[in-house]
Amino acid sequence: MNKWNYFTANELKPKGWLKQQLKLQANGLSGNLDKVWRDVRDSAWIGGNAEGWERVPYWLDGFIPLAYLLNDDDLIARAKKYINAILSYQKPSGWICPCEEEKIPTYDTWAVQLISKVLVVYYECSGDERIPGVIYKVMKNYYELLSNKTIKLFNWGKSRWYETFVAINFLWKTYKEEWIKDLAKLLKEQGLDYEKASPHFKRTLNEWTHETHIVNIGMMLKSEAISHEVLGEEYTDLAERLYTILKQFNGTAVGTFTGDECLSGLSPIQGTELCGVVEQMYSYECLFACTGDKKWAERLELVAFNALPATISDDMWTHQYDQLSNQISCKKFQCSPIFGTNGIESHLFGLEPNYGCCTANFNQGWPKFALSAFMYNDNTVTSVVPIPSAVKTSDYYIELKTNYPFENSFIYTVKTKKDVTLKIRIPSFAKNLVANGKSTPYCEELTFMVKAGENATINVEYEVVTELIDRPHDLKSVKCGSLVFSVPISYKTNMLEYTKNDVERKYPYCDYELIPTSEWQYAPASPFFSLEKRKVSKVPFSSKNPPVVINAEVVKIPWGIEPRYDTVCAKVPASREPVGKPKKIKLYPYGSAKLRITELPLV
């Protein structure tokens, strides 16, 4: 395996549309959650009386890298304020969570695992010299509580034991003390074994279980990659074995798995929780870093460029809990929701539809994706995901100018004081590859060596073709490169401002129903499509002006409505008989089409 290291948020900076996307996030809910949401603003983590378990750590996990990637003094100061407050409440024993000592034996220590991961993220961004010692005390205390059987893993801590390895790996690299390995073994022994649970992935149950919970699943995929080394175990590519099962029985057109809130099968009218999307992305980022296997980078692109922007509003002030591949309306259900174990508001765009975990956790999606643009190993730098970014170290400067995934041309600039090798990953769908003006046979990776004192400009371009991808139920999806396209549905919004359980929904962080106003009962009448490129706007995945569209010939069909619902399309069309003559429409990127039909029949 070829292991890669992350650059820090001070070394790697977003450019172009990626920087604009992060600015949208900073100006939206993510950058203001500590001002408008009591579970962060008044959290017990900082001495308040609101939620004191996962929500502040979840938020900080994305807010911290966002602040440092943008080099925003205000955001950085607010991140430090929260970290300083959390550190001030750490007990002499090392215990750091807002829980009274006598209640520790019944406390779900998922919060310990999560805050320890956040502290590593903060240290890598800030270089704060206090943090290694703080993490040491937190983990040493955790080890003592587990080894003397004061506590044991249960519920979320049992399901997410591997998340602790972000901190464990950091500690082992720093201290090399044997108890760290003992803690690693204790966690795995008490943790959930997902390979043994994998038969449950194959059959959808109308039942809530940790084994099939979509966020646990998204996190779990990286478990072996981040734990095997300190455990002294051989890497067996467990993630690939479980990914294969999950894709076969629960896969979507955009590379995610259905889970509303547990695994939900192959229906395009079942949902995928936003927390599951960002955790799946982070797992793929870790899998590439730990293994160098390029399949994880390509899978990461598919999720990041489609599922992530699809479930967040253009201004990033609101989000869905659940997104659907075929989503013709986002209106509150008046009866039982279509979702397996989620509520009637789960698909609304809002502050905390269904449950607030995604309100806090979606923040990690774009910042951690941005940190995965380039990685390094000694004097070799790899372009993992070719998004506009620049890396600056004491030895070299590397910048990538591109509008990928909306265009497929790339200009790399390298300025270096020492010999450096640049590797550029080429996706499997690339056609007619050209490097520095020369036609090049397809390869998974281009390698360029730049000598000390030299400046180099490297131009790479390739073509992508639009194709129909087979989906279950004899349906198809339209894919071009890493972008999936959908029939967009126009809509009007119904704004909902109210207060519930002392949580205020007020513009711009109120709730919205999306009510369709255009036809959607279409099917492609031809397998031939033409790509139309436009300008990338200040909202890269704009729902009103997407940067790229596909011109398609479609025909109306009597698709029908799912029995017992008036706002959910039928799982499969009632009929594939054309109604009327074919017409031309424009397909939007999945991430831009908030209401959409993505899986559809070819007539």
* DSSP state letters, 465-508: -EEEEEETTTEEEEEETTEEEEEE--EEEEEE-EEETTEEE-TT
Calculate the alpha carbon distances from 141 to 106, 189, 561, 590 in Å.
16, 18, 56, 46
Amino acid letter, residue 99: C
Per-residue pLDDT tens digits for 153-189: 999 999 999 999 999 999 999 999 999 999 999 999 9
Which DSSP symbol is given to 7? P
How does DSSP assign 408-464, residue by residue? -EEEEEEEESS-EEEEEE--TT-EEEEETTEE----SEEEEEE-TT-EEEEEEEEE-
Distance CA 285, CA 407 (A): 23
Distance CA 306, CA 46 (A): 36
**Which residues, 6 or more positions from 161, have their beta carbon under 8 angstroms from its beta carbon?**
113, 153, 187, 188, 190, 191, 192
Question: Which residues of the chain register pLDDT less than 70?
Answer: none
> Can you state the percent helix, strand and coil of the chain, rounding each to 5?
35, 25, 40
Strand 498-500 to 322-324 pairing = unpaired
In CATH terms, the fold of domain 375-402+409-463 is: Immunoglobulin-like (2.60.40)
Q: Which long-range contacts (CB under 8 A, 24 or more apart) does 202-207 make?
A: 202/245, 202/249, 203/249, 204/250, 204/263, 204/264, 204/265, 204/340, 205/262, 206/340, 206/341, 207/262, 207/341
Sign of CA dihedral 265, 597, 302, 168: negative
- Say if residue 198 is exposed, middle or buried (CB neighbours under 10 Å; 0-12, 13-18, 19+): middle
Calculate the alpha carbon distances from 145 to 36, 64, 142, 157, 584 in Å.
36, 29, 5, 14, 65
pTM of the model: 0.97
Calculate the alpha carbon distances from 479 to 326, 471, 483, 556 in Å.
15, 12, 6, 21
Distance CA 477, CA 475 (A): 7
Which DSSP symbol is given to 46? G
pLDDT of residue 204: 85
Encoding tokens for residue 146? 């587990």
Distance CA 357, CA 278 (A): 12
